[in-house]
Structure 1
Amino acid sequence: MGAKVLILITVTVAMLRMVLSTSLTVGVPAGSWDLQTNYTMWALRTRFTIGDEFQFQYSTTVHNVVEVRKAGYDAYNSSSPIAMFLTSNDVVPLAAIGMRYFICGVPGHRVAGMKVQVNVKSKAVWTVRRCRGTGKRLRCRSETILSSAMTAGIDQSAMARLGLAFVAAGLVLFY
């Protein structure tokens, strides 16, 4: 019986994690962690929320990923990193609200703009920036939008309670 319970709990946690988080491959769909992708535009078009995770995909012979503070990001300086990632398929959890800064620590990649900053927000509410025009005539406006779960009247705690109810029902069925 113990193995069945463990399997049920594992499956439930995995299902809840899929519902409450997203895995984001940096630069996709237009690119990856490379010299061609415009990470500023990619980050503007992507919503980052608590519970999501970043995935950096790259060739280890050419690139790496270094998480730095704002000053390191602005100066493109990786001498005091928060974390270094070197595996070519690095997964970085976004566990807290706030700004995160990543650069490629390989010399010369600064010129190509190989850096990305992300603003991790709550799942409940986010701000969408909509822009029209080009160049100096670009006009942008921001609006705050409730997440689809909040609009439907569902919050994360309700999803967690639903998951726990599912586990409890499974336990009753197994015994």
Structure 2
Amino acid sequence: MGSKSMTVLLLVTVGAIICHVGCFTFEVGGNDGWVVPPANDSKVYNDWASENRFRVGDAIQFRYRKDSVMAVTEAEYKKCNSTRPIFFSNTGDSVYRFNHSGSFYFISGVSGHCEKGQKMIVKVMSHEEAWGSEKGGSSQPSSSTAAASFPLFQAFAASMLTPYLFSCAGF
């Protein structure tokens, strides 16, 4: 019975650590924010997105004036179509949290801005993908070995990190 509770505690602890480490907010466009890019730099946002590593639990923040941001499907992204957004915000300071892995497509909601390059594709990795790429594909220790090695540490870590798990998950 004790090993089952230790395994559960380990899973909660590892989940909290992964979520806390993975919870990062990226600011789209840096100091310039979410703006129409210069005429000769229509891929600026996709270049920026490809230079960053996004994980489940991370968020991106869009800051803009007299504009908006939409999350759309791939087909709508390719057409710069903004009639059926998955997400829409025009508050000037919008945050979009990634709740699953995969590709996310963003465009400006202002007519003509998407066609001028104000659009972006973000590829989000699962925690497993991120773990494997950071560790060079090495395997993680088994939960039973870790549970047997660090029982007091696990209890302490779980009590300290569990609030971060809930804050990252949006609870």
Q: Which runs of 5+ in 1 are unaligned?
A: 1-14, 127-143, 169-175
Which of 100, 120, 123 pairs up with 1:119? 123
**Cα contact 1:67–1:84 (8 A) shared by 2:** yes
Query: What is the identity, as a one-letter code, of the residue corresponding to 2:34?
Result: W
Find the counterpart in structure 2 of residue 11 from structure 1.
none
**Cα contact 1:124–1:147 (8 A) shared by 2:** no
Instruction: Tell me the TM-score normalized by structure 2.
Output: 0.63
How many Å separate the matches in 1 of 2:161 and 2:118?
44
Q: How is 1:58-137 mapped onto 2 (pairs within 5 angstroms)?
A: 58-59=64-65, 61=66, 63-126=67-130
How many Å separate the matches in 1 of 2:129 and 2:134?
5
Cα RMSD (Å) of the superposition?
A: 3.3
Deviation at 1:147, TM superposition (A): 5.1
**Cα contact 2:80–2:115 (8 A) shared by 1:** no
Q: How is 1:1-175 mapped onto 2 (pairs within 5 angstroms)?
A: 18-28=20-30, 31-36=32-37, 38-59=44-65, 61=66, 63-126=67-130, 145-146=133-134, 163-166=157-160
**Cα contact 2:49–2:122 (8 A) shared by 1:** yes
How many Å separate the matches in 2 of 1:99 and 1:119?
4
Q: How many equivalent pairs are there? A: 130
Structure with the greater relative contact order (CA < 8 A, sep ≥ 6): 1 or 2?
Answer: 2
Cα deviation digits, residues 119-154 of structure 1 (max 9, x gap) = 11123435xxxxxxxxxxxxxxxxx73259x87968
Instruction: Tell me the TM-score normalized by structure 1.
Output: 0.62
